[in-house]
Amino acid sequence: MSKDTLFDADAVDVRILHLNVKKKWFDMIKSGEKKEEYRQDKRYWKIRFVKEGYWLTQTCKVFDVVRFKNGYGKNAPWFDVECKGISIEDISAIKPEWFGNIQDYQGLRVFVIRLGHIINFEE
């Protein structure tokens, strides 16, 4: 097991967004190929991403780090990526190769999580 500690993501004041992703997306993000992660604009994600009291303006919360995990087990691989912000956009504005079957979701909006550099990982 190796650990790169370029950034102390466990510091008390660091705001971490925890996301589980399938292996395909996990590998693409870790390699630097995929620079955005998407979530559908549904109530479940609104509660997690939109600031309390800002439902009408859809102002998103600020996170410093996104911790991606491949699986739910205690020993599942993970890594931390700099979070450059979250916005809500029409699905037509995103990269379809990074979303999956986009034609099934035409007209919907998605949360776009913009990613920076990998700052911490454990294998």
Question: Can you say how many angstroms the Cα of residue 80 is from the centroid of all Cα atoms in its chain?
Answer: 10
Q: How do beta strands 78-90 and 109-122 pair?
A: antiparallel
Asked if residue 54 belongs to a domain, the reply is yes
Is residue 45 very low, low, confident or very high in pLDDT (cuts 50, 70, 90)? very high
Strand partners, 78: 69, 122
Is 20 domain-assigned?
yes
Distance CA 6, CA 37 (A): 22
CATH number of the CATH domain containing 60: 2.30.130.30
- The partner residues of 69 in beta bridges, in order of sequence, read 20, 78
Residues of the domain holding 39 = 14-122
Number of domains in the chain: 1
Residue 2: predicted pLDDT: 40
| Spatial contact of 61 and 50, defined as CB atoms under 8 Å apart | yes
Residue 84 confidence (pLDDT) above 60: yes
pLDDT at 34: 94
